[in-house]
Amino acid sequence: MAVKKAAPKAEKPDSLDAVVGHIEARTAAGRSTLAIFDLDGTLFDNRTRTIFILREISEQFDSKVPGLAAAFDRFQDLAVVDYSLETTLARMGVKHPAETAFIKAEWAKRFFSDEYQKYDMPIPGAKSYVCRVHRAGATVIYLTGRDVGRMLVGTTEVLRLYGFPVGVAGTMTIVKKEFEQSDELFKKEVSDYIDRLGEVAAVFENEPANSNILQARFPDAASFFVLTQHRPDAPRLAAGIHKIKDFRPPKGARR
């Protein structure tokens, strides 16, 4: 008896361009595709938000934060901003524990709020790439660990401000109901819902843990890891995930 062979699977797209081509082909075939984009560290560089906030704290509380105020006597390179605020402050010469604790509290109030998200800077090429994916016919899903109570309005505002597709057909913003929920658990749970919506064509992340979870959950999707900042205690990135610096086309292809 002849053994029935499974139909060969279509090749997974292995580049940013190939993802767009794949989505176009699936759209032409009448299929629904999805592209999942994380925000912090994936589409946006948050270091500018932190620098802006620290600058504001140094001006508002000048005498209370002498170390920070002194740091702003010098020009600050964005490279000073680490994933950890404590490391950033140490690099800036803020050494007094009480000052550090005070700054951390003031920073957190601002960083996790609607008002300060506009100080994020889009990752190079991110806006035009998301627009291409959207135009190709995929539903763009912004899947972020930001929370609905404090950050949804600012998130929407910033996406619109920088020209990302948002609020229109073919887009979806999914945030956490509660800030306290772990990012990994949240993304795992939401994946079941996303799976029912259509074929996930591509996933974009900057946290190795999330990248690994999403790749395991959507093995047929192309998976991209943006080399920005991530948790220091992150696991190793699983095999088959493509590392990208940003969303710009490869050098030779740039107009």
E-assigned strand segments in the chain: 33-37, 44-45, 121-122, 139-147, 171-176, 199-205, 222-226, 242-244
**Smallest Cα–Cα separation from 157: which of 37, 35, 39?**
39
| Nearest distance from C-beta of residue 41 to Mg ion, angstroms | 4
In the bound state with Mg ion, the residue whose beta carbon lies nearer, of 41 and 165, is 41
In the bound state with Mg ion, the residue whose beta carbon lies nearer, of 106 and 183, is 183
**β-sheet with 199-205: strand ranges across:** 171-176, 139-147, 33-37, 199-205, 222-226, 242-244
In the bound state with Mg ion, the residue whose beta carbon lies nearer, of 38 and 106, is 38
| Nearest distance from C-beta of residue 252 to Mg ion, angstroms | 29
Reduced to 3 states, what is the DSSP secondary structure of residue 238? coil
Which residues neighbour 43 within 8 Å (Cβ) at sequence distance 6 or greater? 37, 122, 123, 126, 130, 142, 164, 204
| Nearest distance from C-beta of residue 210 to Mg ion, angstroms | 7
The strand pairing partners of 200, in sequence order, are 34
In the bound state with Mg ion, the residue whose beta carbon lies nearer, of 69 and 241, is 241
| Nearest distance from C-beta of residue 226 to Mg ion, angstroms | 8
In the bound state with Mg ion, the residue whose beta carbon lies nearer, of 222 and 226, is 226
State the residues that interact with Mg ion by CB under 5 A: 38, 40-41, 206
| Nearest distance from C-beta of residue 204 to Mg ion, angstroms | 9
